[in-house]
Chain A
Amino acid sequence: MRVSKRATSAIALSAAAALVASGCSSGDGDGDAAASKDGAIVIHGVQPENPLVPSNTTETGGGKVIDWLFTGLVEYPNDGGAPRNALAESIDTKDSKVFTIKIKKGTKFHDGTEVKAKNFVDAWNWAAYSPNGAQNGSFFSDIAGFDKTYTEDPDGPDGPQKAPAPSAKELSGLKVIDEQTFEVTLAAPTAVFPTKLGYSAFMPLPDAFFTMKPEEFGKKPIGNGPVKFVSWQDNVLIKLTRFDDYSLRDKMKIKDVDVKLYQDETAAYADLLANNLDFMEVVPTSALAGDKWKTDLGDRGLNTVTPSTALIAFPIYDKRFQNPKLRRAVSLSINRQEISDKIFFGTRKPADSWANPLTPGAKPGNCTACKFDPTTAKQLLTEAGGFTGEMVFYYNSDSSHKDWMDAVAQQVKTNLGIEARAEGIPTFAVFRQNINAHKMTGPYRAAWQQDYPDVENWVNPLYVKGGSSNDGLYSNPEVDTLAKQASAAPSLEASHEAFSKVLEKVDQDVPSIPIYFYGQQSGHSEKIKKLELNNVGELDITSVEL
């Protein structure tokens, strides 16, 4: 999962209002075209973990830069609405199985070569060929022939056996028809497939990529987006500049963007306060206490929500957690509103639905287990036969989760009378290692941020057997069948309708418990007169005006 983006329209509106207000004080509301034209901004960034190859980037530090450097077939509007064509001229299908994709003519990569259909096909084949070890390889599993190019290690990566060499180098489901057209055949009908195409794994790669080592390319990436890469000084700065030959909708209004790579958020925040930094996506947690960031930033602060949800997952492979009544009892005993108010000062919203409501196709309020009802909770616990022993809630203590996890454990203890406490596991790596190995002995924190805006992304990876993030090994054959049907629905509308039925089933089983929806507090300098955040809350650099 790539950590996230998006602002709802309501949020985008409030942001715009705040900006107009700050614009007023300087005399004009909309930004000065002349100042913007050659303008430069410095924004906050984090050193990317890997060389910048789209299909090998799964974290936000590099993901943001990839998003700016590349333009995909479809784009996700900033208001969180349905995806629309970007580089694609048309994406046609009759049965959600065979897609004919036509791309716009005459768009260019930053090295001057034209973006052609084969740049997509080659890039996807590269990522789907398992010996290349691309982190996003599994995104291509919908396409016919994936089982031939991507082989699993029979005894996992730690076992002595090695994965057999794939029998094919290319996906049989990809076919170049002419310079601007290619055909994608999926293994099974998937209505959401066109929506996925805006995710960074599906970006085209220039011919140059295939002539060099991926890590060499990733140090000087060549994209096709509104900005091009200039230089990257590790841990210090990534320099980007406007790509003048860019011909699609989202052209840059300013010229240079310096992404300053900080190791410490508070250092960046000090720079932001001193107008030494032009944009910071997330102000540090320390600035949230007592609404300090509002006093510090005034008009320069933006409050948005993002399509991410914090959950507590149950290790269903542990016998003690296999009774749905117990799981529901735990969920009902948690006062989410209090956690939101007291611990997050209202910056996070109490969760009341299974999929984040900002996601297209998601129904708000469909989590009946998310209410606070200690009486029913107690009753359910009795029906479930109580809980013997200690219930330990786990979290990774290298990030700020202690406060709210302690609160959850305390509430469970008070409201259910279970011996509950929260315990930190030192690092995210050790935490994830235990989760991956299915060795957790108590409920644990998790978070989910959509990879692409569709309710499907909140169901298949999390609640279907074998889903990529179904770490608790939840399995309900009914849910699996319904989800399969929903994924294969002939249209997106039908698919969304079907997925809401799936979530009703999930709601009865309570495989995990949604706790809160993430909010995001950003800040910008006095220099920026206009900006928008994209659908997951990242800065849309093409909207920036000075």
Chain B
Amino acid sequence: MIKRVSLALTAAVFALAAGAADLEAKTPPNVLVVAKNIDDIVSLDPAQAYEFTSGEVVSNIYNKLVEYNPADVEKVMPGLAESWTISDDGKTIIFKLKSGVKFASGNPVRPEDVVFSLRRVIVLKKAPAFILAQFGWNADNIDQMVRKTGNDQVTITIAENFAPSFVLNALAARPASIVDEKEAVKNAKDNDLGNAWLSRNSAGSGPFTLRVWRPGESLVLEANKNFAGGAPKMNQVILNHVAEASTQRLMIESGDVDIARNLGPDQIAALRDKAPIKIETYPQAALHFFSLNLKHEKLRDPALWEAMRYLIDYDGIATTLLRGQMKVHQTFWPTGFPGAVEDRPYKLDVAKAKEILAKANIQPGLTVDMDMISSAPFTDIGQSMQATMAQAGIKLNLLPGTSAQVITKYRARQHEMMLLYWGPDFMDPHSNAKAFAYNVDNADTAPQSTTTWRNSWLVPELSARTRAALVERDPAKRLDMYRELQRDVLKSSPWVMTFQAQAQVALRKEVSGFIHGPTNDLVLYRNVSK
């Protein structure tokens, strides 16, 4: 009797569950459901958003004066500005706003909104403020530097005669998003310029509005009916937080999600031949490298740096371990961007590395600690490096840690060797040139977020050239200057650039129009249909 009741109960439980499972077999036709790790979001205020996912969300909610062209990242295209004129000295840009553009609230986009938005980034001084602060803007001068000069006109002033392409690229970056001043002010508290409210609400003019964000659970974007480019085809885009790649794979196979964003090589390989699924690969701007901290005497010999360039199995790692998630890249500006150099003179050559070490009288047995983030692909790359370095007598001790732990150590220059990645903050070569070829003050009391300072590499000559490129007005000549910088850094730096990331995304076959640009600012859902 008990057995029969138990069996009946079990059958009833699964029947109940199975019925519900059938109800949910497919995503609704006008809703795009995405599986993604979204627990990196801290804030959705464009003046504060600095994480991968928040960047992507902000880009789908807000417009900027000028915007990147997803189809051609070499060009900046009009956003809220219809046109702009640049003064002869390059220090003043006058933007004429498009007429008739409205925020999702129904309020018109006005010059006051532009002034308010750019000003609040500087005044709030949150993480991405440095991108606009490069223009010489600060809380004291911002009111003079960004002004309304007409009913449809804003004039911005730059402290120095920077190259216009640099300025426009920085203005196309996330923190330059234009916020609805009236909404932000209405919801401001304690003079925060609406920061707390905008962290979990939206006030933009982009294709979507934020309906709800539940940290660590999901985020829902809703179509903005007032969007100047026409309402998106999807009524909603739901980003479901799914941290585990294997789970994402099962969900897209089952049709519970339309797009899976964080799949590893194993999951991609398993999904490649599944009929209802397509795999798309998008080149990314993020570059992977390892660096040597010159604070340590034993790591200062350039011959050691040179030898290490020959002790990485670039092709083996790319094809066997990373399987399409990265490609070999050896210069500091990624492929696909204006001015990128694709030279890759180095490959695994243990004999040559040994010869270089012997010539420099560096004896076998050198031991170096290498910090790295304790997850793939860092662990895979680190282990491969450990094996190939050992062949030349260099003992690599791997020190895995959490991302925050590794960055803390790096920031304090307490590492010996570091395996890490770098992504540009805007799509101008200066973003990376400053990181990899500029350091004029190596003092501990002058901390910089650049790779040069963090590895104690003082480079006055390269810094001068980086500075010269920044103010060069001739676009072609400017790009040539960056190309030369890349080639010189490739040969002489105490770090080795190894790979450029590629995002591999699984989509249900019926999904089209998804744009995944080289940075998170260019992950766009407005054209998606299914």
Do A and B come from the same complex? no
Question: Which B residues have a C-beta under 8 Å from some C-beta of A?
Answer: none
